[in-house]
Amino acid sequence: MNTSSPVAGWIPVRLFPEDNNLLCRWLYAGDKAFDEPFFDESISACRAGFSQNWHVKRSMSSTDVLAAWAKEMDTVEPTAFIFHISRCGSTLISQMLGMQPANIILSEVPFFDDLLRYGKKHDCMPAILPQLRAAVSIYGSNRTGNYERLFIKTDSWHIHFYNELRALYPAVPFFLLYRKPDEVLRSQQKKRGMQALPNYLEPEIFGFDNEVVSATPLDEYMGMVIESYLDAFLDILQKDQRAYPINYHCGAMPIVDSMAAVTGLPINESERLLMEKRAGFHAKFPEQVFSEEKPHEPVPEFLKRSFELYDKIESFRLHKNG
């Protein structure tokens, strides 16, 4: 591990507001690869695997130190951000990119979400954004000395923080992964994520009215969420030349190839074979062979506008690629 910094191998993992101060809890990650499907699982693995994390008294600091400590580290700048509307292949794509040992993969990092939602809720985003950039640098620390690229898969609702993230990273490619709305809804019906539960996340993130959210049935609420994502995607694509639409139905390896073409990512034959093998298994349960059910029910009326947006995004993608 690269030990040039006294905080080498440590990452901030949770945000704790305390009076007028913001504190963060630190976790020792050593030179462990973050190769689990979700970063929560990487956190659990680090807690169990490193004695530095076994103390009853956790390592805490003010977030004010993030910028200074980030400057002490040899870091890898973001190669690309992967935005998605949920249940559209982003986890699998991240896992495939993780087959390359030179890639750092950050998949839905809770600390990034903590900072963005705190900044939104407390209307203090200008103060939060430098801390977010510093946190990304710390997570992108070249802990092995062999990392060359950093891919960040966001939480699905982070598309609603597009302006803030684009301001921090004006030249970094933003990939926008999407899928047919009814297929996303069907997947959420089987196991609902945070974004599919009314009021679990702040309604303001999506531009929703609190009272409307409370009175909306579960499936219709998820329909509203999907519509908000696709609305944001279409708006971004119409103004951002560094945003790239990617349809789930293109297939996993073609998606990785399209990302490679944009980012200059080299893929050798052995890496391609590993990626293709990984593509045959479930994204969230790597030991399970993947099989997909196609929706047979008629499309509900509340998804009508989402499909209109989907069709517009698809037309944009085909025109951009053509």
Q: Is the pLDDT of residue 280 over 90?
A: no
The Cα angle at residue 162 between residues 160 and 167, in degrees rounded to 5: 145
Residue 1: per-residue pLDDT: 57
Summary mean pLDDT of the chain: 93
Tell me what the mean pLDDT of segment 187-214 comes to. Answer: 96
96 lies in some domain: yes
Chain segment 245-266, per-residue pLDDT in tens: 999 999 999 999 999 999 999 9
Residue 30: per-residue pLDDT: 94
For residue 277, name the pLDDT band (cuts at 50, 70, 90): very high
29 lies in some domain: no
Residue 87: per-residue pLDDT: 96
CA distances from 55 to 3, 5, 28, 47 (A): 22, 22, 11, 10
CATH number of the domain where residue 170 is located: 3.40.50.300
17 lies in some domain: no
What is the spatial distance between Cα 203 and Cα 200, in angstroms, rounded to a whole number?
8
Residue 288: per-residue pLDDT: 55
For the ranges 73-82, 100-109, 260-269, 283-292, the lowest mean pLDDT is seen at 283-292
For the ranges 100-114, 167-181, 273-287, the lowest mean pLDDT is seen at 273-287
Pairing mode, if any, of strands 10-18 and 21-28?
antiparallel
Chain segment 149-161, per-residue pLDDT in tens: 999 999 999 999 9
70 lies in some domain: no
222 lies in some domain: yes
For residue 55, name the pLDDT band (cuts at 50, 70, 90): confident
Chain segment 96-115, per-residue pLDDT in tens: 999 999 999 999 999 999 99
Number of domains composing the chain: 1
Q: Whole domain around residue 85: which residue ranges? A: 79-321
Q: Is the pLDDT of residue 5 over 80?
A: no
Classify 211 as helix, strand or coil.
helix
39 lies in some domain: no
What is the spatial distance between Cα 262 and Cα 310, in angstroms, rounded to a whole number?
23
Residue 6: per-residue pLDDT: 73
Q: Is the pLDDT of residue 206 over 70?
A: yes
Q: Is the pLDDT of residue 164 over 60?
A: yes
Q: Is the pTM of this model over 0.85?
A: yes
53 lies in some domain: no
For residue 21, name the pLDDT band (cuts at 50, 70, 90): confident
Please provide the size of the chain in residues: 322
Q: Is the pLDDT of residue 196 over 70?
A: yes
Contact assessment for residue 37 and residue 108, using Cβ atoms and an 8 Å cutoff: no
278 lies in some domain: yes
